[in-house]
Structure 1
């Protein structure tokens, strides 16, 4: 820029004299200076105009030094001088512009607009002056008050453009401005970390990573991702600058991460062991491999860690082998290497052989209440008693009885039982009994599990070789059944368990062979059965077993009393049926008095609390056969007739369709048996008449009975009665109903009957009757069709044609003899 031609004559035109005189009078009038500048600005663009602008603005800022407007105009004109210039060729011109900004900012240091324009000018046109620009940014941040977001935006953009240490410096200062890790935006923190890593500022990155991971603030990325990045930074730094402190940082970072992310235990431990291996800390690698195996809780992590461990050991063996092969001079070193090689081979063999045990340990850690894992561990130690017994004790200590579960048939009582068997198999009965006594006081989810233990405890003592083993075994069950004072609901309910009582009774019955105490043992069995009935836990099977036992020892009369007590005990018809069935059969087999037996049958069949109609048929037949076997034939028939009446009454009271259907089928069977049993013709005819008039029977059953009745009358040469029966049964259903095969068969049978026993008149009468029946059913059908939903009959069409059937001659019959 040439200042030689800047003369007063050229810079002050005659048109400017008026303003010059005014400014001479009042040089501090800002309005006059603004008017003067507008006058100059309005002139044509020429080098002289730029000079005149600078001339006016320089004088204006000297006269009014704190006018931000004039300084902004001054900087605009100054920048226009270097608008198309290159900084490398016109540094002095750029220096003039910078000096204008510097002078302005000395007076207006808190002006945001001036600072932004200055910094923007520096970063866009003088990028090579990094230190100068960075210092101006720092100065701007110190001078300005209030919001400096726009300054920081320019500063960060400048840092990214420059990169390197400058970028790291800028971002770290910005993080400090935001208030550190606890107050800074998560996105900015991530950007700062990225800048540190990109520019190999590992120490700063490590410090910031540690601060971020220790804080609780939200981040745009997951903490696990940040943690992995942190570990990668440590690994990269260890390759160039390994140190003990760096190793400690890595160890602490992984341990903290495992505590926070236990589901990432496997990958994190593998990173730690790999780091230690690369650093040459093989002992630490083995330590952390072992720690990982001892703390992992998934099969995936176990397999991952174990495979990596075995590969690590194999690589160490390879290194030792190569060392032995390459060392041909130092015998002492060779011997040491061979010893180390042998030790490491044994170590690897032991590691591989212990794999099932380590895997089982992991499964138990994952789910200590899984019984299958504990049984598997016991099976692994089955050949080592010193390991088996502590395993049983550990399992029973760690398993929660209320949460114990199994995918197979393993149960918690089975674990107690197997534990006791270890001692009993070695004749240590005292310890076995102690274990059983502890087991029955433990907590269980069901009474059946507790019962299993008592039964096994008793059977274990029965097999013991010591004297009075049977008595001691019996005492175990008697104590829990008769002297149980437990306040726990589950343990108290054992004394009412049907299975344990049945076991106790079986045990007592096994002692009856002793002739000296046979009567005493029989009484004990009877007392046990009676106790079961008294406490109301006896089942029908219990009643029948009790009676069967009494019959076995020839207490027949007493056994009948047991049946009676069972009938009083149960109210369910099905259960009472089972007892009555055996009771009546046994009463007949014992040869009781006839009247007494009849009273039993009458009680079973015809009293209010007797057997229901749906279950009465077997007892009716049994009663009938009993009378017949004793020569009372009429009484036998009377019983069947009484049974039919009972079924008729029961059908009226039955609720379900299934019960009614069964009663009708049983009733039909009784009718059939009755007809077969009666030989007197008039009596049988009377029974047939009663049967076909039974309104409860189904149509199919009535047809079958009528068919038999017709055959009976034909045999007796009663043709007219047979014809009447045909008419009776054939009018019950439409002959055109093809769904009923039996009615078609009856019509066919009637036709054959007329051919064999009738004449042309009776045959025509049969056909006429058939047509009449068809007409009646069709009229009913048409009437039903004419009914609307309200039940009214539709009106007939006036003057409509009559149906063909109505005009047909009723006497016209087609003959087909």
Structure 2
């Protein structure tokens, strides 16, 4: 490629060229040369700049002047012109040695911003922040925020940049809020339909419930209102119920309960108005039918209307649905004391006063023969993580006693079997991994519960079932001397003398002195009474064991 003739030095350039040959690294000589050629074409001046910068690549004065002239050249041109690409390449070359000069960065960044190169501009801003010291970052952040506030920059990019800026200077939080307000008002709501349709509203609001603990009640009602607006009334009821059973403050409970009650009352009123309108339409239809008996077309239309009304009444849309909705409202209002009490117990499960109130609630249901609701309350009570296992065992025993008072003997036994069942290995492993062991895991070793259970089996069960319970107590190693004696005496009553003596022998191996004394006394007296002098050798062995 041949070099144009005008780029070669002229006769007027020879003095400068000769001096530069003798001293090519003199900034003063290069600058005098450029000043002398101020009126020359830009191509020739750019050639001189390139030669000077090749000799002095670290000269800020030369790079700044060169870039300013290139900027002036492209200013009247459209941003798609190829001269802009040459300008960008020149800036990149300059930053190899001028990367610590904030003015060069700002000139480059403003140029890229004008060119609407979003990705390249963002990356260049990030490079500038990485290259310059923190004390000079404020000079970069100002144009950076102007850039991300422009139209065409993705909102996610803008949000990320603003969050980073607030870490650098948190005092500008109001600027961020103003930016969000402007962006929110910049579009009509209808233009966000494609974005909103892809949002998981349920997950977003539930995340807010976990994060903003002071607004739990309002967020639960907002989630329910979302489903109500989507005409998913049953899902809205589920949300209301979940909210009332999870909140831990009376204030949040009151907000949810009031919204739930208002929702049910509104649904009831709408349904009652609908039923009244149907009855009015039916009366008008009958009148028209009487007047137009002779008109065939009118008769056909009335006949179709009558069929539609019958089809509509085929569903639960008449007075029965009104009764159902009234029953729902009454049931909700009746449950308020129980639900409020549950909130207080979730605050402090060891609040004895609140548990006394809960017991009175059990008795209230029981006195009104409402055993079903009493069972529901007991079922919730046994799931609470009490302070001690004995507290939980007492609730189970109280539940079983209620079943006994209502002659539900089979149900009482089933309750005890459920209460004394040992948790599975999987459950124990999961609890061990969590590191927070509830009292329910230790319930199967509660002596109070087993003592109540074995009394029930002796009274209501069979000998085999009772023996199974006693054996289980011995296997768990929670037996007392009195339980050993009771087990042996049960076997004696049913003529299982040898089995009874084996129980005594197991007992004396389990306990030490002085607890074993009562077992030995009872064992020896029963043995002598049974065999007398017929088994002296065995009696001698027992006495020798006693002496040891």
| Interval of TM-score (by shorter of Structure 1 and Structure 2) | 0.3 to 0.5
Give the TM-score normalised by structure 2.
Answer: 0.48
Higher Rg of the two aligned structures = 1
Tell me the TM-score normalized by structure 1: 0.34
Indicate the structure with greater helix content. 2
Higher relative contact order (CA 8 A, sep 6+): 2
